[in-house]
Structure 1
Amino acid sequence: MRLSSTRRGARLARHLVAQQLAAWGIPYGSEASDAARTVTAELAANAVTHGRLPRRDFRLALLRLPGRVRVEVTDARPERLPPTTFPAEPRPPEADSGRGLLLVAAHAERWGCEASGACTKTVWAEVTCPQ
């Protein structure tokens, strides 16, 4: 699904994931649903903040896999890849940003990033969920 590269689009992504998971039998408020919503919120916020280009949407994909759900967020900035390692020193508590991918790493079984040609990149994360 394509969503506007705005805060509203990022918020909608989180709600759509919760709705789809409920349709798949993963109840709202369950550990798996909360983890997937958190991961989606962070990936969508990063796409809106760091992957935005004027008049370009981001794409949200949700895939049901055996024992897990894969969240994919594709944006228009393939040259802005997320860090693959985190600093040894955590961000100070008063910092406004810089913890999103730590949340993704904490809630996801695994995550990564793939450049999709010269025009897009996809950041994905897989969250464990019941069959």
Structure 2
Amino acid sequence: MPGRDFELRMGCAGDHVTIELSDARAERRPLPTPEPDEGGYGLLLVATLATTWGVKPRQVGKTVWATVPLASAVPQ
């Protein structure tokens, strides 16, 4: 089925992990929302846990990325 292929990349730099998830569906760009909608809680979790996140276009599709602090870097 078109749009079902995806790629997950993770990298660690200093005290953060960067997570990137790419797929072929450029028309389905996530948008920030203050409350969960029919899509669930995914972006609320990302916005809560990540120091920054965003969406960037690709030649085919999009990449949603987030930078998350490592547990040792989170203030207690």
TM class by smaller structure: 0.7 to 0.9
User: In structure 1, what residue type is equivalent to 2:58?
Assistant: S
> Equivalents in 2 of 1:125, 1:105: separation in Å?
9
| Residue of structure 2 equivalent to 1:58 | 6
More strand by share: 2
Give the aligned partner of residue 111 of structure 1: 53
Structure 2, unmatched stretches of 5+, are: none
Give the structure-1-normalised TM-score.
0.48
**Greater helix content:** 1
- C-alpha separation between the residues in 2 aligned to 1:126 and 1:75? 18
Q: CA deviation at 1:79?
A: 1.7
Q: Which protein has greater RCO, CA pairs closer than 8 Å, 6+ apart?
A: 2
Stretches of structure 1 that go unaligned for 5 or more consecutive residues are 1-51
Q: Normalising by the residue count of structure 2, what TM-score does the alignment of the two structures yield?
A: 0.77
Name the % identity: 40
Which has more radius of gyration?
1
Show CA shifts across 1:73-92 (max 9, x none): 00010121111x324xx34x
CA distance in 1, matches of 2:29, 2:39: 17
